[in-house]
């Protein structure tokens, strides 16, 4: 019976589970996981013997060996202390370990009926985040796959709310909806506008890279009822720049608009007492996102989406279908109602377990430490004659140039760093000039590690 083989407990099943847990255990507890590096499709095909999916199956041992010795080494270790590109990840040991439990239990996180315990724990985490960001007790939301889906879900809720408001007031709906954001806003906001068939009103950021209130005010006055949301960034991905959230939020005293804060990378900095003031005004947001898979030490993939008034999210996103009637007719809190997704794993649970295990003080300390390390390495960069800081870092991203280097020099240097398995630091650019950047959020990254990279640029 194939079901006995594939689904039931049996000696073969025990061997498979043991092998996978053994591998996971070794990998999680290994002291020195290499950075590893990608391979070409041709090379991977060759190394995997031309294909791994056969009619009879390879058996778990061979399949796992292929993963361990061929496929896994062709994946960058994004949690490596010297993986400093894009936005890295640095899940805690508790969070990584618990991710296995989420998978092992077949938990369903879409509805209260099916996943009450898991949803309760996720909601406790969302409550902690809402408090941290100054949102009211009544705020709520859902963990979604990533910032891109979080931004899109929030902006759709903003548009539906704007639509309801105009209709209720007997006003005409605009031909095209508009989303106001900075030229420096993350690409996912522009992508969301495309999906929504809405226009983006790109407001030029100031010389310091921040979106300013007077410019937002002008855009709101010019585009009026057509604006369904203003997006302010709480820590840009390139530089960690935080828009003038306080000034933009204060416009709410005068104008009626939905304020969304895209804090995917940076909002976590509010866990550091010394950085909280940078985010003043966040407490007036109508919606916000933060990606725990970035700086809040959760594994991929995890974005917390919060609404000031969750009803706005629910009106926009609840799916209606006959087979779902029993869910939608009940008064329960169903996470599926708050974003563009129905089936979902309770992806907030690894974060819940980690926060429950270590407590919030440990998080504050870890976030503060990375901000301090960034400050320290920025000073070191500024002190080196051959290096120039492009901007003073505000959070935990530092961008700098090596004087005299062209893009090709950065490319060569970066490839050599990865080839030698020293570090993963890719070239970037600003205003047409090549540079490089460290995105520092791994508590295991040390000052000496970073100095070692700077030395390779001398
Ligand atoms: C990373 C990031 C996003 C996109 O988040 P994903 O989880 O990659 O989809 C959006 N906005 C900002 C500011 C980000 O840093």
The model's pLDDT over 409-457, given as tens digits with 9 standing for 90+, comes to 999 999 999 999 999 999 999 999 999 999 999 999 999 999 999 999 9
Both 125 and 271 in one domain: the answer is yes
Sign of CA dihedral 110, 116, 117, 121: positive
Per-residue pLDDT, averaged over 176-205, amounts to 97
Dist. CA 440–CA 453, nearest whole Å: 13
Tokens of 310: 């969750």
Q: Determine whether the shortest distance from the Cβ of 262 to ligand 1 is under 6 A.
A: yes
Q: Residue 184: is its pLDDT beyond 90?
A: yes
Both 334 and 226 in one domain: the answer is yes
Q: Which of 411, 379, 421 is nearest to 398 (CA)?
A: 379
Contact 179, 202 (CB under 8 A): no
**Confidence at 1, pLDDT banded by 50, 70, 90:** confident
Q: Determine whether the shortest distance from the Cβ of 147 to ligand 1 is under 6 A.
A: yes
Residue located nearest, by CA, to atom 3 of ligand 1 = 147
Q: Determine whether the shortest distance from the Cβ of 347 to ligand 1 is under 6 A.
A: no
Q: Determine whether the shortest distance from the Cβ of 428 to ligand 1 is under 6 A.
A: no
Both 416 and 307 in one domain: the answer is no
| Ligand 1 pocket test target in 146, 181, 279 with most atoms within 8 Å of CB | 146
Both 345 and 320 in one domain: the answer is yes
Q: What CATH number corresponds to the domain at position 207?
A: 3.40.640.10
- Could you tell me the distance, in angstroms and rounded to a whole number, from the CA of residue 236 to the centre of ligand 1? 9
Tokens of 191: 């992508």
Q: Determine whether the shortest distance from the Cβ of 370 to ligand 1 is under 6 A.
A: no
- Could you tell me the distance, in angstroms and rounded to a whole number, from the CA of residue 151 to the centre of ligand 1? 9
Q: Determine whether the shortest distance from the Cβ of 291 to ligand 1 is under 6 A.
A: yes
Spell 226-253 as b/e; 16+ CB within 10 A means b.
Answer: bbbbbbbbbbbbbbbbbbbbbbbbebbe
Q: Determine whether the shortest distance from the Cβ of 143 to ligand 1 is under 6 A.
A: no
- Please check whether residue 273 lies inside any domain of the structure: yes
Neighbours of 422 (CB within 10 A): 15
Number of domains in the chain: 3
Q: Which of 26, 35, 36, 33 is nearest to 74 (CA)?
A: 36
Q: Which of 212, 202, 218 is nearest to 281 (CA)?
A: 212
Both 328 and 416 in one domain: the answer is no
Residue that finishes a domain, picked among 357, 380, 410: 357
- Could you tell me the distance, in angstroms and rounded to a whole number, from the CA of residue 368 to the centre of ligand 1? 21
Both 278 and 251 in one domain: the answer is yes
- Please check whether residue 300 lies inside any domain of the structure: yes
pLDDT in the model for residue 274: 97
- Could you tell me the distance, in angstroms and rounded to a whole number, from the CA of residue 60 to the centre of ligand 1? 36
- Please check whether residue 82 lies inside any domain of the structure: no
Dist. CA 417–CA 426, nearest whole Å: 9
Per-residue pLDDT, averaged over 385-404, amounts to 97
Q: What CATH number corresponds to the domain at position 367?
A: 3.90.1150.10
CA-angle at 336, arms to 330 and 340, nearest 5°: 140
Q: Determine whether the shortest distance from the Cβ of 188 to ligand 1 is under 6 A.
A: yes
**Beta strand residue intervals within 77-144, DSSP E:** 140-144
pLDDT in the model for residue 242: 98
Query: Quick check: helix, strand or coil at residue 306?
Result: strand
Q: Residue 65: is its pLDDT beyond 90?
A: yes
Which residues neighbour 444 within 8 Å (Cβ) at sequence distance 6 or greater?
Answer: 81, 90
Both 289 and 149 in one domain: the answer is yes
pLDDT in the model for residue 238: 95
Helices 147-168 and 310-317: angle between axes, nearest 10 degrees: 90
Both 412 and 365 in one domain: the answer is yes
Q: Which of 178, 225, 228, 171 is nearest to 203 (CA)?
A: 178
- Please check whether residue 392 lies inside any domain of the structure: yes
Neighbours of 153 (CB within 10 A): 26
Q: Whose structure tokens read 């991710």?
A: 99
Q: Residue 329: is its pLDDT beyond 90?
A: no
CA distances to 78, 80, 424, 425 from 89, rounded to whole Å, are: 6, 8, 13, 14
pLDDT in the model for residue 322: 87
Q: What is the DSSP letter of 330?
A: S
Mean pLDDT over all residues of the chain?
97
Q: Residue 331: is its pLDDT beyond 90?
A: no
- Could you tell me the distance, in angstroms and rounded to a whole number, from the CA of residue 96 to the centre of ligand 1? 21
Both 400 and 344 in one domain: the answer is no
Predicted TM-score of the model (pTM): 0.98
Residue located nearest, by CA, to atom 4 of ligand 1 = 147
- Could you tell me the distance, in angstroms and rounded to a whole number, from the CA of residue 237 to the centre of ligand 1? 7
Dist. CA 137–CA 131, nearest whole Å: 7
pLDDT in the model for residue 201: 98
Query: Quick check: helix, strand or coil at residue 347?
Result: coil
- Could you tell me the distance, in angstroms and rounded to a whole number, from the CA of residue 262 to the centre of ligand 1? 8
- Please check whether residue 139 lies inside any domain of the structure: yes
Residue located nearest, by CA, to atom 12 of ligand 1 = 264
Query: Quick check: helix, strand or coil at residue 93?
Result: helix
Q: Is 36 exposed, middle or buried (0-12, 13-18, 19+ CB in 10 A)?
A: middle
Dist. CA 54–CA 356, nearest whole Å: 44
Residue that finishes a domain, picked among 310, 329, 357: 357
Q: Determine whether the shortest distance from the Cβ of 87 to ligand 1 is under 6 A.
A: yes
- Please check whether residue 1 lies inside any domain of the structure: no
Percent of the chain with pLDDT over 70: 100
What's the helix, strand, coil split of the chain in %, to 5? Answer: 50, 15, 40
- Could you tell me the distance, in angstroms and rounded to a whole number, from the CA of residue 204 to the centre of ligand 1? 20
Q: Whose structure tokens read 């003031």?
A: 277
- Please check whether residue 252 lies inside any domain of the structure: yes
Both 196 and 337 in one domain: the answer is yes
Q: Which of 17, 20, 22 is nearest to 64 (CA)?
A: 20
- Please check whether residue 210 lies inside any domain of the structure: yes
Q: Residue 90: is its pLDDT beyond 90?
A: yes
Both 182 and 317 in one domain: the answer is yes
Which residues neighbour 33 within 8 Å (Cβ) at sequence distance 6 or greater?
Answer: 27, 77, 80
**Confidence at 294, pLDDT banded by 50, 70, 90:** very high
Q: Is the bond leading into 301 cis (omega within 30 degrees of zero)?
A: yes
Q: Determine whether the shortest distance from the Cβ of 401 to ligand 1 is under 6 A.
A: no
| Ligand 1 pocket test target in 87, 155, 291, 428 with most atoms within 8 Å of CB | 291
Residue that finishes a domain, picked among 357, 387, 409: 357
CA 396 from centroid of its chain's CA atoms: 15
Q: Determine whether the shortest distance from the Cβ of 263 to ligand 1 is under 6 A.
A: no
CA distances to 13, 144, 223, 233 from 21, rounded to whole Å, are: 12, 27, 57, 40
Both 196 and 270 in one domain: the answer is yes
- Could you tell me the distance, in angstroms and rounded to a whole number, from the CA of residue 186 to the centre of ligand 1? 7
Q: Residue 325: is its pLDDT beyond 90?
A: no
- Could you tell me the distance, in angstroms and rounded to a whole number, from the CA of residue 290 to the centre of ligand 1? 8
- Could you tell me the distance, in angstroms and rounded to a whole number, from the CA of residue 265 to the centre of ligand 1? 6
Q: Residue 324: is its pLDDT beyond 90?
A: no
pLDDT in the model for residue 8: 95
Contact 376, 390 (CB under 8 A): no
Give the domain range for residue 319.
107-357
């Amino acid at each position: 019976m194939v079901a006995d083989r594939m689904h039931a407990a049996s000696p073969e099943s025990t061997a498979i589970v043991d092998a996978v847990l053994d591998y996971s255990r070794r990998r999680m507890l290994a002291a020195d996981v290499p950075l590893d590096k990608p391979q070409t499709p041709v090379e991977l095909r060759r190394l995997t013997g031309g294909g791994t999916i056969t009619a009879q199956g390879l058996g778990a041992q061979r399949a796992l060996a292929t993963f361990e010795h061929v496929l896994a080494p062709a994946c960058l270790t994004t949690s490596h202390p010297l993986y400093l590109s894009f936005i890295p990840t640095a899940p805690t040991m508790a969070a990584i370990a618990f991710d296995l439990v989420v998978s092992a239990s077949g938990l369903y996180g879409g509805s209260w009926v099916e996943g009450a315990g898991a949803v309760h724990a996720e909601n406790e985490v969302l409550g902690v985040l809402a408090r941290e960001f100054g949102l009211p007790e009544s705020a709520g939301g859902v963990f979604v796959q990533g910032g891109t889906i979080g931004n899109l879900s929030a902006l759709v809720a903003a548009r539906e709310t704007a639509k309801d408001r105009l209709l209720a007031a007997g006003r005409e709906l605009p031909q095209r909806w508009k989303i106001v954001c900075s030229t420096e806003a993350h690409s996912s906001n522009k992508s969301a506008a495309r999906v929504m068939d809405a226009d983006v009103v790109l407001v030029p950021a100031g010389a310091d890279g921040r979106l300013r209130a007077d410019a937002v005010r002008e855009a709101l006055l010019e585009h009026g009822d057509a604006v369904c949301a203003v997006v302010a960034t709480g820590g840009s991905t390139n530089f960690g720049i935080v828009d003038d959230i306080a000034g933009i939020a204060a416009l709410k005293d005068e104008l009626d608009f939905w304020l969304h804060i895209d804090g995917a990378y940076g909002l976590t900095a509010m866990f550091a007492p010394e950085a909280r003031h940078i985010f003043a005004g966040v407490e007036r947001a109508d919606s916000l996102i933060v990606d725990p898979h970035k700086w809040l030490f959760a594994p991929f993939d995890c974005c917390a989406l919060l609404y000031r008034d969750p009803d706005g999210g629910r009106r926009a996103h609840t799916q209606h279908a006959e087979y779902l009637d029993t869910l939608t007719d009940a008064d329960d809190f169903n996470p599926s109602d708050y974003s563009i997704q129905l089936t979902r794993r309770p992806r907030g649970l690894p974060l819940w377990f980690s926060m429950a295990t270590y407590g919030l003080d440990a998080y504050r300390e870890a976030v503060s430490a990375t901000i301090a390390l960034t400050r320290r390495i920025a000073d070191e960069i500024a002190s080196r004659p051959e290096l120039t800081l492009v901007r003073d870092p505000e959070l935990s991203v530092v961008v700098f140039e090596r004087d005299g280097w062209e893009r090709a020099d950065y490319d060569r240097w970066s490839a050599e760093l990865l080839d030698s398995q020293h570090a993963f630091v890719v070239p970037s650019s600003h205003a047409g000039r090549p540079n490089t950047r460290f995105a520092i959020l791994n508590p295991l990254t040390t000052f000496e590690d970073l100095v070692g990279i700077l030395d390779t640029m001398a």
